[in-house]
A = this chain, B = another copy of it.
Amino acid sequence: MARVRFQVPQRFADLDLLGHVNNVAYLVYVQEIRLKLLSRLLGDRLSRMNHVVVRNEIDYLRELSLGGEPLEVDAWVERIGTSSYTIACEILDPVGEVAARSKTVLVRLGDDGTTEPLTDEERDLLAVAADGSGA
């Protein structure tokens, strides 16, 4: 499956007083996409897992305004480590150019709140959306 294409509907409230999508709103889009990707990959397991975000990075390449149509976003699992993994997104503008690239690192926490290795099942499920070059 590798890359998965998602749609993200925008909201008026995503704009700031400069009239473009505020830099923080891009991270809201990234969060929506990550949850949709993980829901697709992990299904019901998602609600029982304790995977927390430990790092976000995002490069803003193009301004976004409010289009009538949802934004297109590509997402994939870029890296699967021992107890952490990285989800990458590319947010596209209405003409198909990359408007932003993000990476989000998540770690698996055990019941006591400390880092635990991903299970083999989790690794297999995440690998379905792993990019050919990275997994």
Q: Nearest chain-B residue to A68 (Cβ)?
A: B39
Could you tell me the distance in whole angstroms from the C-beta of A96 to the nearest C-beta in chain B? 20
Count the copies: 4
Residues of B with C-beta under 8 A to A22 = 13, 31
A11 at the interface (CB under 8 A from B): yes
Interface residue? A57 (CB, 8 A): yes
A54 at the B interface (CB under 8 A): yes
A112–B103 Cα distance when bound, in Å, is: 30
One of B13, B35, B55 near A60 (C-beta < 8 A) = B55
Tell me, yes or no, whether A41 is within 8 Å of chain B by CB: no
- A134 to chain B: closest CB distance in Å? 19
- Sort A-B residue pairs by CB-CB distance and give the 8 closest, nearest first: A57-B57, A9-B9, A23-B53, A15-B17, A24-B27, A17-B19, A55-B59, A54-B60
List chain A positions with a Cβ less than 8 A from chain B. Answer: 9, 11-13, 15-19, 22-24, 27-28, 31-32, 35, 52-61, 70
